């Protein structure tokens, strides 16, 4: 795994491993499972919603600006090309 990145957010240190531009894995956030950066929204949950037939634009609207369409498209691509999202 790559080296962790560190940011300061609202006075707190946020350390994470970047899995893509929009997807990270952060110790202590959702058990270290992949999330969309700066959220606690798990990537695999979003992919499950897509697999169940939910429309990507409806998902984006439901996240109320927390997750961009580009982030979900990145998750879909990572799911196809990498095992990085396969985390229990």
Query: For residue 19, is it within any domain?
Result: yes
Structural domain includes residue 87: no
- Residue written as token pair 């990270």: 24
In a domain, 21, yes or no: yes
**pLDDT at residue number 14:** 86
**What is the C-alpha to C-alpha distance for residues 82 and 56, in angstroms, rounded to an integer?**
21
The range of the structural domain enclosing residue 51 comes to: 5-81
Q: What is the pLDDT of residue 87?
A: 56
Domain count, the chain: 1
pLDDT at 81: 85
Residue 86 covered by a domain:
no
Alpha-carbon radius of gyration of the chain: 13
In a domain, 26, yes or no: yes
Q: Which residues of the chain have pLDDT under 50?
A: 88
Tokens at 5, concatenated: 């990145």
**CATH code of 19's domain:** 1.10.10.10
- Which of these, 21, 20, 17, 22, lies nearest to 2 by C-alpha position? 17
Length of the chain: 88
């Amino acid at each position: 795994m790559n080296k962790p990145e560190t940011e300061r957010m609202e006075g707190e240190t946020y350390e994470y491993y970047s899995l893509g531009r929009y997807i990270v894995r952060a110790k202590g956030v959702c058990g270290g499972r992949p999330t969309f950066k700066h959220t606690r929204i798990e990537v695999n949950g979003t992919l499950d919603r897509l697999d169940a037939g939910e429309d990507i634009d409806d998902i984006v609207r439901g996240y109320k600006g927390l997750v961009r369409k580009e982030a979900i498209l990145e998750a879909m691509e990572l799911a196809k090309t990498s095992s990085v999202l396969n985390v229990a």
